[in-house]
């Protein structure tokens, strides 16, 4: 890619800030704007990237290329000015495609597990002496950031399926963690979603690799690429055996098909069965690249997690406060199942639904995913720019759960400030408090821990 001056609209988002860091690391001039400052904008400014607060046409200056996030509306003044001046105008996915397709791209997709799997893969490759470029949708603890520019031919990137833009990528390795109902505002039905993932797989370079969760993803076509399957079923190419949980982590034996005499011990310092699967996916990438699997297995213990993925934020009144990004029913269920393995007293779950369309499409499934909680608080919906839908609110989840026969304590508290006050009054020593959602629920965590 030729060196240019890039202007990024919405630069403070998780995905856009990662692109900004990589573009800057590749020697380009980078500037951008966002509505407000954030943790990500602080990281950017620390790297010498100017972040302007607010959107106005004069911000563009003498930029050559304008990049926008999917959340930016067409009437944004910087978008309007870019079109008026006939500047090169690209979506975030267009830039990611240019970066990913120009090297040996490792694109990690799936309904959930993308960020953690991408982060684990990045850690392993770096530990094995590879220096990949990394583009993640979350902040990797080991990096203190969500992106970096590497010197090798490899790029490890999270490939989001939400709007179909991942079909622009032509990776050397395509990885699919799972395929479940989500983003139906775009796909309309599961059949279209599945077709999109199959197209993503077929876009893999001819002599590359396809890695799938063999327990959950089935291929309905022959491919020209080598296919590797991972999971708990012993028929998979990589399989986890003798899984044991303790101290917010786990151990298991890694079995590789065709090598029955050799099982490698893996230790994880992140909780839950879902993270065992995420680690299998990352180890599968190393196996495809013919890297030292024994060393890779040993490196897994150094993965300490991603921001807002079962992240312990502190303690309040003897209760342990955790922050988690879970917003799909399967993610919520996995987080609560991980929590119950470690609980000392109650599991107190606070869930903020994310998007009216998701709640409407998955309401019945949401009614069944909270069974491991002892106390459940539901807030109102974080719309993420969507307009409300009639009858679709946090109370709808409460009604659905009651219909499912939930017998534990269940409370509807629409406003986050009221949630903070309720928790501060009612949590007990030894409680594990999980604040879950992809919206601004993390505000409760911050306010709770700041209280005198």
Which sequence spans correspond to the domains of the chain? 5-91, 103-302, 311-450
Compute how many other C-beta atoms are within 10 angstroms of the C-beta atom of residue 245.
17
Of residues 67, 95, 96, 90, the one with CA closest to residue 155: 96
User: Under DSSP, is residue 353 helix (H, G, I), strand (E, B) or coil?
Assistant: coil
State the helix-helix crossing angle for 356-366 and 394-403, rounded to 10 degrees: 10
CA distance 395 to 397: 5
In b/e form, how buried is each residue of 332-371, taking b as 16+ CB within 10 angstroms? bbbbbbbbeebbeebbbbbbbbbbbbbbbbbbebbbebbb
pTM: 0.80
User: Under DSSP, is residue 2 helix (H, G, I), strand (E, B) or coil?
Assistant: coil
pLDDT computed for residue 234 by the predictor: 94
Give catalytic residues, as residue numbers: 114-115, 158
Q: What's the CATH class of domain 5-91? A: alpha beta
In contact, 132 and 125? CB cutoff 8 Å = yes
Q: Look at the alpha carbons of 281, 287, 289, 291 in this order and tell me if their dihedral is positive or negative.
A: positive
CA distance 272 to 248: 8
Q: Which residues does the chain have with pLDDT short of 50?
A: none
User: Under DSSP, is residue 223 helix (H, G, I), strand (E, B) or coil?
Assistant: coil
Structure tokens at 310: 């079962």
Q: Which residues contact 146 (CB under 8 A, 6 or more apart)?
A: 14, 17, 18, 21, 40, 43, 135, 136, 137, 138, 139, 140
Q: Which residues contact 364 (CB under 8 A, 6 or more apart)?
A: 400
pLDDT computed for residue 225 by the predictor: 75
pLDDT computed for residue 368 by the predictor: 85
User: Under DSSP, is residue 406 helix (H, G, I), strand (E, B) or coil?
Assistant: coil
What is the CATH code of the structural domain delimited by 103-302? 3.40.1190.10
pLDDT computed for residue 224 by the predictor: 66
The domain covering 311-450 belongs, at the CATH homologous superfamily level, to Mur ligase, C-terminal domain (3.90.190.20)
**Which spans in 47-113 are helix H?**
77-84, 92-101
């Amino acid at each position: 890619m030729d060196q240019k001056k890039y202007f990024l609209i919405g630069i403070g988002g998780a995905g856009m800030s990662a692109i900004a860091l990589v573009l800057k690391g590749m020697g380009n001039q980078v500037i951008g704007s966002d509505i407000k400052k954030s943790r990500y904008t602080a990281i950017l400014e620390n790297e010498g990237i100017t972040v302007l607060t607010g959107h106005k046409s004069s911000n563009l200056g003498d930029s050559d290329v304008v990049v926008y996030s999917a959340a930016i509306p067409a009437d944004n003044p910087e978008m309007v000015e870019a079109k008026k001046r006939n500047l090169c105008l690209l979506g975030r996915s267009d830039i990611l495609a240019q970066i990913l397709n120009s090297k040996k791209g490792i694109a990690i997709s799936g309904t959930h597990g993308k960020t953690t799997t991408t982060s684990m893969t990045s850690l392993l490759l770096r530990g094995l002496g590879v220096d990949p470029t990394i583009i993640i949708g979350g902040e990797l603890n080991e990096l203190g950031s969500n992106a970096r520019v590497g010197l090798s031919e490899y790029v490890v990137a999270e490939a989001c399926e939400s709007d179909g833009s991942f079909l622009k990528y032509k990776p050397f390795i395509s990885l699919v963690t799972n395929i479940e109902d989500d983003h139906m505002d775009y796909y309309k039905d599961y059949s279209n979603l599945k077709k999109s993932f199959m197209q993503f797989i077929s876009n893999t370079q001819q002599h590359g690799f396809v890695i799938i969760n063999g327990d959950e993803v089935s291929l309905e076509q022959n491919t020209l690429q080598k296919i590797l399957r991972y999971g708990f079923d012993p028929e998979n190419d990589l399989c986890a055996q003798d899984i044991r949980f303790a101290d917010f982590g786990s151990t298991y034996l890694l079995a590789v098909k065709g090598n029955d005499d050799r099982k490698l011990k893996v230790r994880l310092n992140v909780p839950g069965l879902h993270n065992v699967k995420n680690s299998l996916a990352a180890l599968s990438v190393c196996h495809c690249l013919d890297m030292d699997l024994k060393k890779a297995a040993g490196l897994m213990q150094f993965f300490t997690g991603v921001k807002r993925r079962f992240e312990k934020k502190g303690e309040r009144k003897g209760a342990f406060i955790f922050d988690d990004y879970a917003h799909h029913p399967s993610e919520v269920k996995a987080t609560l199942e991980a929590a119950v393995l470690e609980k000392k007293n109650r599991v107190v779950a606070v869930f903020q639904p994310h998007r009216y369309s998701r709640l409407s499409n998955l309401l019945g499934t949401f009614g069944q995913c909270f069974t491991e909680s002892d106390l459940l608080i539901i807030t109102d919906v974080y719309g993420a720019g969507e307009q409300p839908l009639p009858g679709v609110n946090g109370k709808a989840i409460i009604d659905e759960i009651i219909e499912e026969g939930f017998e534990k304590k269940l409370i509807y508290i629409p406003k986050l400030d009221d949630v903070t006050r309720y928790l501060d009054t009612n949590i007990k020593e030894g409680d594990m408090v999980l604040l879950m959602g992809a919206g601004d629920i993390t505000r409760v965590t911050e306010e709770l821990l700041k209280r005198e």
